[in-house]
Amino acid sequence: MNLQDIRGSYDLMLGLGSWCGPSLNLRRHNWRRFSFPLDWMISNSISDVSRLLRNRFTGFMEFQNLQRTDGYAHFLDDGVAIFPEEGGTEPVNAHFIHDTYYNIISVHDFPIIPNVDWPVMYPSYKEKLHQRIARFLEKVENSSSILFIRWAATYEQAVELQSTLEGIVKGQFNILILCPEEGFKGVSEIDWGLDKICAVKVPRIPNDPGTWNYVLEGITLPPRKQ
């Protein structure tokens, strides 16, 4: 597939990592209408994402598999920065919490609170995650046309992802994969010869609006039902 082939209207668009960029740019175009489990996480390997989807998220972010790791980012409520209750100009930061079973990292869900350890926040987080998983499974099974968007993948990983999605998606779907390359400029289509996947080579500048606007041109989502 090429960019011309994926243009058109979809019932649902959602991101599959490897970071927040797909979800951020869907929201920027007013196409992100639901919260899904991978929206604000780091998922470096599509093979791990495919395994997660094949398992229908069974065992995902279970407490016994979680480890706090180096790094922190802003604490977000579905992509919106949260500021201290007592006021301040800097958002609250969050711990990086690594799911060692699926090799996926939560970067925005566990706020750094003085004298409070991160596991205290786990019950409320798990409840929110459960709702997002249920919504994901319901939407991918009942939407007639879906566009999945992924930042970074190899050909072999893309083939695996397509096969995995064919096992859980009942309607039509396409996959848009942005493949970053250091020092590259512009956007160049990659001919992988896959009938449901459009891959494009892009600069390794994850949140460049120009790149995202170009690859998303001609894609639409019907207006919300009143």
Q: What is the pLDDT of residue 79?
A: 86
Residues 193 and 191: their CA atoms lie apart, in Å, by 5
Q: pLDDT tier at 225 (50, 70, 90 boundaries)? A: low
Surface-to-core class of residue 3, CB atoms within 10 Å of its CB (0-12 exposed, 13-18 middle, 19+ buried) = middle
The tens digit of pLDDT for each residue in 139-192 reads: 999 999 999 999 999 999 999 999 999 999 999 999 999 999 999 999 999 999
Q: What is the pLDDT of residue 175?
A: 98
Q: pLDDT tier at 78 (50, 70, 90 boundaries)? A: confident
Q: What is the pLDDT of residue 223?
A: 81
* Residue 156 or 226, more confident: 156
Q: pLDDT tier at 13 (50, 70, 90 boundaries)? A: very high
The DSSP annotation for 127-150 comes to HHHHHHHHHHHHHHHH-SEEEEEE
Closest Cα to residue 129, out of 39, 27, 22, 25?
39
In terms of DSSP bridges, do strands 104-111 and 145-151 run parallel, antiparallel, or are they unpaired?
Answer: unpaired
The tens digit of pLDDT for each residue in 196-211 reads: 999 999 999 998 999 9
The tens digit of pLDDT for each residue in 79-106 reads: 889 998 877 788 999 999 999 999 999 9
Q: How many residues does the chain have?
A: 226
The tens digit of pLDDT for each residue in 22-60 reads: 999 999 999 999 999 999 999 999 999 999 999 999 999
